Amino acid sequence: MRTPAILSVLGEDRVGIVASVSRVLAESQANIEDIRQSIIGGIFSMTMLVTVDEETTPFDQMQKSLAQISEELGLQITLQREDVFRYMHRI
C-alpha cells in the first residue's frame, strides 16, 4: 500500500539535513513527490510530500528511523499521513 504522507523538518540550519532525511527515505523506498524548503534567520524549514511503501517499510518503522536522525541532528521531524491535512484544510 502506497500511502501519501507529509514530512516536516524544522530546526537550526546545518550541513547534511537534506542528505540525511533523503537517505532514510530512499532506504525505506519512500518516494519524494514534492519538496519545499526555506531558511529564515538561520532556521531551516522543509516540507515534503512523500509516498510511503508500507509493504516495504511500515509507517511506524519509518517514523522510528526518522526519530533517530531527528535526535542525531537536533531537529524536529514529523511524518504524518497526508489526509489529515486534506481533511482539516479542504471542504
Partner 1 sequence: MRIDPEEIVETLLMVQQQRFDIRTVTLGLSLRGCAHEDIDVAAARVYERVTQAARNLVPVAEAIAAEYGIPIVNKRISVTPIAELAAVCNAEDVSPFAIALDRAAHEVGVDFIGGFSALVQKGMGDGDRRLIASIPAALAATERVCASVNVATTRAGINMDAVLLMAQTMKATAEATKDRDCIGCAKLVIFANMVEDNPFMAGAVHGTGEPDEVINVGISGPGVVRAVVDALPKDADLTAVAEAIKGTAFKITRAGELVAREAAKRLGVTMGIVDLSLAPTPAEGDSVAAIIEAMGVGQCGGPGTTAALALLNDAVKKGGAMGTSSTGGLSGAFIPVSEDANMIAAARSGALTIEKLEAMTAVCSVGLDMIAIPGDTTAETIAGIIADECAIGVVNSKTTAVRLIPACGKGVGDHVSFGGLLGEAPVMPVNQFAGTVFAHRGGRLPAPLQSLKN
Shortest Å, Cβ 76 to partner 1: 8
Q: Residue 13, interface with partner 1 (CB under 8 A)?
A: no
59-73 and 17-27 helices, crossing angle to 10°? 160
Q: Residue 69, interface with partner 1 (CB under 8 A)?
A: no
Q: Which is nearer to partner 1, 56 or 80 (CB)?
A: 80
Shortest Å, Cβ 33 to partner 1: 8
Which residues lie closer than 8 Å to 24 by C-beta, 6 or more apart? 62, 65, 66, 69
Note whether 47 and 78 are within 8 A (CB). no
Shortest Å, Cβ 89 to partner 1: 5
Applying CB under 8 A, among 15, 19, 34, 74 the residue interacting with partner 1 is 34
Beta-bridged to residue 11, according to DSSP, are 44
